[in-house]
């Protein structure tokens, strides 16, 4: 199995009067996370982990914080772009594990709903996502929410149709090689490589 791993981290400061969104879920709380976008600390960490797994840069590469287009943006936009990069690289998510670090609100009562939302956004099953939470003991960071995320990704198997196509091409190549060998031994015609009809790398 061809697998890769990605890691992501993010932090945002709590600010009064801002809506709180974590894992794409709106939470009842007097404070929200300040950020250029909607400040969804968990989605940002997961987005970075996915981009990192296929060495595709980070969230800032695609969405510079100063760009007015991403002001108050729904962070699922960032996640979708990371998923596109992942797909483009030929990989899919095996599982995601995250740890939130925040003093309040309590995550345990909403962890199930958060996991469902995250699984939906990622297009995976519930047993492929995990959201854990801790309080920032001894860090003096009660005004901050942090999130760590790791993602394991696996290479998508070639569809059967493409596999059989490449087998046909392989057979054609072998046949051409035999003919070339015969020609060069009989007539002294120099061997040349015949390019395949199309580039198989592009059909993914």
Residues that bind Zn ion (CB under 5 A): 10, 44
- CB 97 to Zn ion: min, Å: 18
Minimum Å distance from CB 118 to Zn ion? 15
Q: Which CB atom, from 19 or from 90, has the smaller least distance to Zn ion?
A: 19
Which residue number places its CB atom closest to Zn ion? 44
- Shortest distance in whole angstroms from residue 57 CB to Zn ion: 15
Distance in Å, CB of 12 to Zn ion, minimum: 5
Closer to Zn ion by Cβ: residue 44 or 117:
44
Nearer to Zn ion, 69 or 192 (CB): 69
Strands 31-33 and 129-134: unpaired
């Amino acid at each position: 199995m061809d697998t890769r791993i990605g890691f992501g981290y993010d932090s945002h400061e709590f600010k009064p009067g801002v809506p709180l969104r974590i894992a794409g879920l709106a939470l009842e709380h007097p404070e929200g996370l300040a950020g250029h976008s909607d400040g969804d600390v968990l989605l940002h960490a997961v987005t970075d982990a996915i981009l990192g797994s296929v060495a595709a840069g980070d969230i800032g590469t695609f969405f510079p914080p100063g760009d007015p287009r991403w002001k108050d943006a729904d962070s699922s936009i960032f996640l979708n772009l990371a998923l596109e990069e992942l797909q483009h690289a030929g990989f899919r998510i095996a599982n995601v594990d995250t740890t939130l670090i925040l003093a309040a609100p309590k995550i345990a009562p909403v962890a199930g709903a958060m996991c469902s939302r995250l699984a939906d956004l990622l297009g995976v099953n519930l047993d492929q996502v995990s959201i854990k939470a801790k309080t920032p003991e001894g860090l003096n960071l009660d005004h901050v929410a942090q999130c760590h995320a790791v993602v394991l990704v696996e290479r998508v198997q070639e569809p059967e149709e493409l596999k059989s196509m490449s087998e046909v091409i392989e057979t054609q190549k072998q046949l051409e090689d035999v003919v070339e060998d015969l020609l060069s031994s009989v007539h002294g015609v120099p061997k040349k490589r015949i390019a395949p009809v199309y580039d198989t790398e592009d059909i993914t």
